[in-house]
Amino acid sequence: MQAGHTGGMPKMATNHPSVEAVISTILTKQEAATFVHCTTRYLERQIRAGRLRALKPTGKLVRIRRSDLEAFLESGATIGGDSNEKSKRNSGHEEAGQ
């Protein structure tokens, strides 16, 4: 046992998410760019334009939530959509046959 540690109570409260969970949901610009397969400059432009939400706790420090990146990607246009996607959007409505 470590000196000064009396045992019993854990050091961190159990009602907080684990450090690993927080780290995996909040990304640096570089991590976000890797996730989206783009440049950090592109992300900066999207943040400035208001298309992508970002956290800015201090002057130059920028962090992006993975959920905000996923929402950003989902909000974009789909190019060359596949027929399965079209049927999902129709919420089960069948198309008229021709």
pTM over 0.85: no
**Cβ-based neighbours of 71, under 8 Å, separated by 6 or more:** 53
d(CA 66, CA 68): 5
Residue 91 backbone dihedrals phi, psi, to 5 degrees: 55, 45
Residue 50 backbone dihedrals phi, psi, to 5 degrees: 85, 10
Label residue 21 by pLDDT band (50, 70, 90). low
Residues 26/65, Cβ–Cβ less than 8 Å: yes
pLDDT greater at residue 10 or residue 29: 29
CATH number of 19-75: 1.10.1660
pLDDT tens per residue across span 38-61:
999 999 999 999 999 999 988 889
Give pLDDT, residue 79. 74
In the chain, where the domains are located:
19-75
